Amino acid sequence: MAQKTESFSIGVMASDHVAVGVVQDHKVRGSVHAIPDLATIPPDSLAPVIREKIDAICLEAGVDPAAICAIGFGFPGIVRDGIVQDSPNIKQAKGLNLAQAMAAVFTGTNSRIPVLVLNDADAMAAGVAATRGALEKLVRVWTLGNGIGFGRYPELEGAWECGHMVVTLDPKEHYCGCGGLGHLEGIMGHRAMRMRFLDMEPEEVFENAKDGDAKCQAFTKLWHRALAAATANLVHQDGPGKFYITGPNSVYIEIPLLNQYLHEMVKMTPLQGSVFEVIPTSDEIAVIGAAVSAAFQSPAS
């Protein structure tokens, strides 16, 4: 189902910061505005702060806030029925009814505005689908940053916290922010890498690997093998296809190495043939995805 030509929706994307934009016909109208440092915003202040930003971007884009048909909010963690059930990297948001809070700040302006809260990686996947004309296709996206996100479009029921997929049985792998052992995020996450290499930043680890440092080279292989293992698990569950990779740490991806490891892990002929594509990290894509997802579920669509 597509948005009406004259309908507007709001896309909000939260990661280490918050990005907000007005979306019309799968494009941002005006510009995306950012609110820095999400971790410093108290949970009960988040919706009012975003409401102020929405008013500002609507004014810039020449859109009456009362004309907004839906708000989509991509947020890290397990989100069900508008409630953030858990968010390992934004712990203060656990239990926050984000949909209710956002709807409440519109009382008196557009009190019946529908609000959809979805996982941030799912918003990114929807944005990739919308901006690439692939809304009728399966789109899967890995987001590599402080945490590791996996987004799927169209969404399916389930937690889909694939960044916390177990990819090793080594009990020494305890670096995941949620406290779990052997998790993908405990190997690939930015925070986890900083904990592992206390004397080096992640970018230094990958640079040193290129310069021949044996320890860093071994970790680079583990890093790629972990992502290949998680992808192989998804292929065995959901079938083969294209997997997009984005996020600030996607710059370290070596596609040939990732392909080699995935090929070693997926051997059944009908499940072979998956490919990876690294795409630019963009707040705009995620904002569009959040807005489009919300608009699809809006009665006005």
Other Cβ atoms within 10 Å of 43 Cβ, number: 16
Gap between the Cα atoms of 101 and 119, Å rounded = 17
- 87 secondary structure, DSSP code: -
- 136-278: CATH topology is Nucleotidyltransferase; domain 5 (3.30.420)
Count of CB atoms situated within 10 Å of the CB of 176:
25
User: By CB neighbour count within 10 A (0-12 exposed, 13-18 middle, 19+ buried), where does 88 fall?
Assistant: buried
Give whole-number Cα distances, 66 to 52, 59, 63, 197, in Å: 14, 12, 8, 50
Percentage of the chain exceeding pLDDT 70? 95
Q: Where are the domains of the chain?
A: 8-127+283-297, 136-278
Q: Decide if pLDDT at 31 tops 50.
A: yes
Q: What is the pLDDT of residue 41?
A: 85
CB-based contacts of 260: which residues, under 8 Å, 6+ apart? none
Burial status of residue 172 (CB atoms within 10 A of its CB: 0-12, 13-18, 19 or more): exposed
pLDDT at position 151 is 95
Q: What is the pLDDT of residues 159-202, one digit of tens each?
A: 889 999 999 999 999 999 889 999 999 999 999 999 999 999 99
Reported for 273-277, long-range contacts at CB under 8 A and 24+ positions apart, including other chains, are 273/240, 274/231, 274/235, 274/240, 274/241, 274/242, 274/243, 275/241, 275/242, 275/243, 276/231, 276/242, 276/243, 276/244, 276/245, 277/242, 277/243, 277/244, 277/245
CB 135 within 8 A of CB 146: no
CA dihedral 16, 79, 143, 128 (to 10 degrees): -110
Query: How many CB atoms lie under 10 A from the CB of residue 228?
Result: 22
Question: Which tokens is 144 given?
Answer: 């590599």
Q: Does position 13 have pLDDT exceeding 90, yes or no? A: yes
Q: What is the pLDDT of residues 87-131, one digit of tens each?
A: 877 888 889 999 998 888 876 654 578 899 999 999 999 999 999
Instruction: Quote the tokens at residue 65.
Output: 């806030």
Q: How confident is the model at residue 250 (pLDDT cuts 50, 70, 90)?
A: very high
pLDDT of 274 = 97
Is residue 227 within 8 Å of 184, Cβ to Cβ?
Answer: yes
**How do the residues of the chain divide into helix, strand and coil, expressed in percent and rounded to 5?**
45, 20, 35
**Rounded Cα distance, 23 and 10, in Å:** 6
Q: Where are the alpha helices (DSSP H) in 211-282?
A: 214-238, 255-265
Does position 1 have pLDDT exceeding 50, yes or no? no
pLDDT at 165: 96
Q: What is the mean pLDDT of the chain?
A: 90
**CA-only gyration radius of the chain, Å:** 20
Per-residue pLDDT for 27 more than 80? yes
Q: 3.30.420.40, 1.10.3720.10, 3.40.50.150, 3.40.50.2300: which CATH number matches 8-127+283-297? A: 3.30.420.40
Please, which pLDDT band fits residue 296 given cuts at 50, 70 and 90?
confident
Domains 8-127+283-297 and 136-278 share a fold: yes
Q: What is the 3-state secondary structure (H, E, C) of 128-187?
A: HHHHCCCCCCCEEEEEECCCEEEEEECCCCCCCCHHHCECCCCCCCCCCCCCCCCEHHHH
pLDDT confidence band for 2 (50 / 70 / 90): very low
According to DSSP, the β-strands at 83-86 and 78-80 are antiparallel
User: Binning pLDDT at 50, 70 and 90, where does residue 17 land?
Assistant: confident
Kindly tell me the burial class for residue 226, based on how many C-beta atoms sit within 10 Å of its own C-beta (0-12, 13-18, 19 or more): buried
